[in-house]
């Protein structure tokens, strides 16, 4: 029996960061997008679920507006850092 868990914040952050990356005119290559996601996900509180229900959960999750706001702010910060020092 394997332990199957997933941090649903991954899908949430990745789903929301696209428009912010675009707004700032940041590079949209895989490396830059991954760097932005990693930065944000390292700073916000993870939300783990077992993957059996995790796939569905991440599509229906209702985020606290404060968490939503935190994601936007951290993404903006990450985008600026990536634009200053792109690793691609």
Give contact residues for Zn ion (rule: CB under 5 A): 27, 29, 32, 88
Q: In the complex with Zn ion, which residue's Cβ is closer, 33 or 58?
A: 33
CB of 81 to Zn ion, least distance (A): 13
Q: How far apart are CA 29 and CA 68, in angstroms?
A: 24
Q: In the complex with Zn ion, which residue's Cβ is closer, 59 or 87?
A: 87
Q: Is the dihedral of CA 14, 56, 66, 4 positive or negative?
A: negative
Q: In the complex with Zn ion, which residue's Cβ is closer, 8 or 40?
A: 40
**Residue 29, H or E segment:** none
């Amino acid at each position: 029996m394997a332990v199957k868990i997933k941090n649903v914040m991954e899908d949430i952050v990745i789903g929301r960061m696209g428009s912010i990356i675009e707004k700032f005119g940041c590079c949209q290559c895989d490396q830059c997008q991954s760097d932005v996601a990693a930065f944000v996900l390292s700073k916000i509180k993870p939300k783990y679920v077992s993957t059996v229900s995790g796939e569905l959960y991440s599509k229906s999750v209702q985020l606290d507006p404060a968490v939503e706001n935190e994601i936007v702010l951290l993404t903006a910060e990450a985008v600026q850092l990536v634009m200053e020092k792109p690793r691609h």
